[in-house]
A and B are shown apart, each in its own frame.
Chain A
Amino acid sequence: MAGQHLDDLAPVADLYDYRGRVPAWLPYQQGDVFSDVAMPGPDAGLAMLFLHPCTMRQGTRLRDRLTVVRVTSESTRKVLDEPAHWVGRNKVMPLPDLLADQASTHVADFMEIATVTAAELPRASRVAQLSLTGRLQMQQRIVFHLTRYAPKLDDLERATESVELEAQQQADWVQVGCGSDDRAAPPRVDELEAEYQAFLGGTDPDSIRTMLYGPAASQAVRAIQQEIAARYPHGAA
C-alpha cells in the first residue's frame, strides 16, 4: 500500500562530497566510510562512522572507541540510484556508487552496529565522505529507524548547522595549514586540528566557539577566516 515515505534519496552527485581518495585534512564526520574495518564477524570490510561529531571526540582527539555501521554490497552490477528502489527500505542508508566505479551499490545496515577502536579508522582508510545533504538523509533514516519519527531535513539542518559550521571551518583551517596536501601526515593534521580548537577557545561567553554556536555565527566565521589568512598568508591561493 502506498503511503508516506522518507525524503527521496538525493542523486549520487549530491550524496557525496568525496569518494575514492578523501583528503586527509577533512575532519572525521558522521557518515564517513572506511575500508578494512574489523567488526565482529568473519571478514574485515567497509564500515560507516555512526557517531555525531559532537560525541565522537574527547577534547580535540577522537574517542578511543567509536560506533560504526557495517556497509555491505547491495549490487555488484548496478548503481541503484532510483529513489523508488529505496521506498520502504528504512533500515539502511543507501550508498549507490559508493566506490565511484559506476557499477555497484552498497548500503549501511543499521541492524549491524558495533564499537571499534579508533585505530581501526585511520584517515588513510577513508573511502568516502557524505555531503551535507547525504548526512542529513542519513540522520533522518537513523532517527526513523530508531523511533519511527521522520523529522524534516530542513529541521535537522537547523539543529545541526552549528556543528557543521565548526567542521567546515576546521576543514578550511587544516587544508590551508597543510598547504592543501591531500596526503598530509596524520601528526600534522592532528596538530592543525588542535591549533584550530585552541583558537575556538572554551565555552565562555566571549569565545569564538560560543559565537559559532549562537546568533553571531557569521562573525565567528569571519574571525576564523581572517585568522587563517593571517597565519597562513600563502596557503589559500
Chain B
Amino acid sequence: MTETLTSPMTVRSAPRRAPGTSWESISEEWQGLDAQFRADRQEHRGRGAALVRDHHQLYEDAFVAEAQAAARMTATELLDELATGFGLPWTDLARMMSVSVPAIRKWRQAGGVSPENLSALARVLACMRVLRDRLCVADPVAWLGVPLVEGYTVTARHLYTAASVPQLLDFAADNVAPTVFLDRVQPGWREKYATADVVVMFDDGLPALVPRR
C-alpha cells in the first residue's frame, strides 16, 4: 500500500509539550486576566465605533447648520463669497457640483439657478466655512487640491460629494489616516489614481510633468 500524507500510517503523535505551557497548568488568575482584557477590548471596540459615529454626527450637524445659513443667501452672494472669500476656482466648483463652468458664469451674471443647484451651492460654501472656521484649515481651497498619498493623483476635491462631507471633515480634522479615509469613501482608489509621474517646477519657472524617481 502506498503511504500518503493522510493515511493513518503517516499520523504521528504530537510532540510532548514542554512543562508549563498546557492550558491546565496556567493559573486561574492569568486566565481571568486574559478574559478581562478580551471583554474590555470588545467593549472598547463598540465604544470606539459609537465615538466615531457620534463624532461624524457632530461634523454633520455643523455642516447642516452652516448649509441652512448659507441657503438664505442668493446665488450671487454665494458665488461672491466662494470667489472673493475663499478663492475657489470655477473649475473646482464645477467639479464639486457636477455642472459646467459656463453654467456657473451664467448664474453669477444673470442668476437663474435651479433650487437644487442653489442648495448644492450652499452646501459647498458650508463645507468651506466648516473647514476654515471650525477645523482651522487656513486655506481650504489649497487643502482640497493637495494629493493625499504620494504616487497617487487623488485629492480631496475628487472626493467631495454632499454624502461624504462628514467623512471629509473627519479626515480634515486629522482623525483618520489618508489611506483609511480613501478606503472608506472610494474603494478602488489605488487602481484609479496610481501614477508614475510627478509635477515639478521646471527650469523655465513653470510646472512640468516628469517621471517619479
Contacts and interface: CB of A to CB of B under 8 A. Distances in A.
B68 interface: no
Nearest to B194: A152
A160 B105 CA distance: 21
A55 to B, nearest CB: 10
A158 interface: yes
B117 interface: no
A154 B153 contact: yes
Nearest to A215: B142
Given A229-B80, A236-B109, A218 B139 contact: yes
Contact of B87 (A131, A156, A225): A225
Nearest to B197: A155
Contacts of B110: 180
Interface in A208-237: 213, 215-222, 225-226, 229, 236-237
B102 interface: yes
Contacts of A131: 100-101
Interface stretch (A62-70, A84-92, A161-169, A187-195): A161-169
A152 B142 contact: no
B199 interface: yes
B205 A17 contact: no
A221 B101 contact: no
Nearest to B110: A180
Contacts of A172: 83, 90, 105
B209 A156 contact: yes
A132 interface: yes
B44 to A, nearest CB: 39
Contacts of B76: 236-237
Interface in A194-215: 203, 213, 215
B207 A213 contact: yes
Nearest to B83: A225
A178 to B, nearest CB: 11
A159 B91 CA distance: 15
Contact of A159 (B87, B88, B139, B208): B208
B84 interface: yes
Nearest to B82: A225
B85 interface: yes
A222 B205 contact: no
| Chief secondary structure at chain A's binding surface | helix
B201 to A, nearest CB: 9
B141 A218 contact: yes
A155 B139 CA distance: 22
Contacts of B141: 217-218, 221
Contacts of B56: none
A18 interface: yes
Given A17-B101, A219-B87, A203 B205 contact: yes
Contacts of A215: 142
Interface string B73-117: 000100010011111111100000000111001001110000000
Contact of A222 (B86, B153, B193, B206): B86
A168 B195 contact: no
Nearest to B207: A159
Contact of B153 (A14, A155, A229): A155
A219 B206 CA distance: 19
Contact of B199 (A13, A18, A159): A159
A131 B80 CA distance: 23
B102 A17 contact: yes
Among all A-B residue pairs, the 10 with the closest Cβ atoms: A218-B87, A221-B87, A154-B153, A218-B141, A222-B87, A225-B83, A225-B84, A159-B209, A158-B199, A180-B109
21 contacts: A14-B100, A17-B101, A17-B102, A54-B206, A151-B209, A154-B154, A154-B193, A155-B199, A162-B207, A172-B105, A175-B109, A213-B207, A217-B87, A217-B141, A218-B142, A219-B87, A221-B83, A222-B87, A236-B108, A236-B109, A237-B109
